[in-house]
Structure 1
């Protein structure tokens, strides 16, 4: 069995011309890949992504994708055995070490993927579709329905923030609001960045982080969530006057599942079982109106 988290997002069009329609985009992409298998790949300076259409879906059924993060020759792992020196993995030019995630896009604006430490994130899918299909979509994280209310409760009274960015390929994107926390000196040389900002244990009870840092935390939670692997916020609740801790990575709308292993790659889950887990979690959250309430909280916060 393989443990995975099924994480949910809200997808939306970010360019009205043409509007983003999952099954239309998936059908067009599948046709291109059928004509040229290399159409499934998007190579970049630091990042190579591959996307396959498992099922294009239609106006009433979800679209299914498989997305892979491919390691370029310069970033491939080495192999080792007792009594021997390190050596490159014996791969052909068209072979890549890969991490894979399975993605479902429902026609009504929801999306899900199976997540684990090295899973490529949905920002890659958005980038891939924009480049390959001129199809523009954005993915917003969905948090448990009460998260935005709890964030607002401590806004302006934040005493500490723990943030980590441990994906080297994202370093070039670590600007904007992340610049508040990430020293420019790190640049591209840092394989990982972990920052903890706080007012100090011996500070006054009513001393909090500066407004600039406070606002940056909220912007990261809303628009830079794909760049961070850890975001923990501690602040004083106006409601209880007690210290509250919010770990936004565990407050995502998600469900932990245990899936049968793939026969082809035992370290990864069986694709059919993974998509079935997507559907089961979606149905469960829908029946309990959790998706609806999480979306309402997101839209309320965004406006």
Structure 2
């Protein structure tokens, strides 16, 4: 069972000088799967390959495309689609996936949001890499080991198939119960009327939680276990560092959740908190989770 830390961690734009957050020994692990931009030079791009945590120079667009494909992991089309319709598992964070049944189309799994990004042609792939790139200083880049020889490739990449993978993931209903027109709330329309088919008119798997009595909550739809009280807010990298080796309620495999996993907790019966918070309703079930508005 996957276990995740709540809540959304406040992301900060990070570049230059990671030494204050992580030690040099842990930097390669923290940056595993990331695209790095050498901001003190000419923005040269590097890829930290998750399997060996070495950095690979991406060079020109064609070079970057070839390197990405050389380091790519083959995957069956149905398995890829199953992940795209649900969640990519954490073991694929930062990997390049090659759809071996669809002309080897390549996708980069961004370890920050765990979404897939289609790499397309060489120029497209290079642009994606740079848009998702993280700035890094020469000093910090120098602590990462450079690559050896690229893995040998064959005409047909190896396909990874896991017997534990299922092609469908529980998707939680939003709990939306109201219908809207172009400018305001309206009575939900009937079939054939304008605006018919809104979220409120479809009932999916209803939110369901079990409080385990040990400070954790299990989502009965997704199967994820959450810590009930989020505690103090922290930035993304602090969250990762705290999750590594963290033990709570007898479990030691906690991790930071993906954006999609966090979104699965959203309850759309909430109200906009930009006004008076006293009458606001949070977009989270506060009967189950500890919640308070931030500053």
Task: Output the TM-score relative to the length of structure 2.
Answer: 0.25
* TM-score, normalised with respect to structure 1: 0.25
Q: Which has the higher strand share?
A: 1
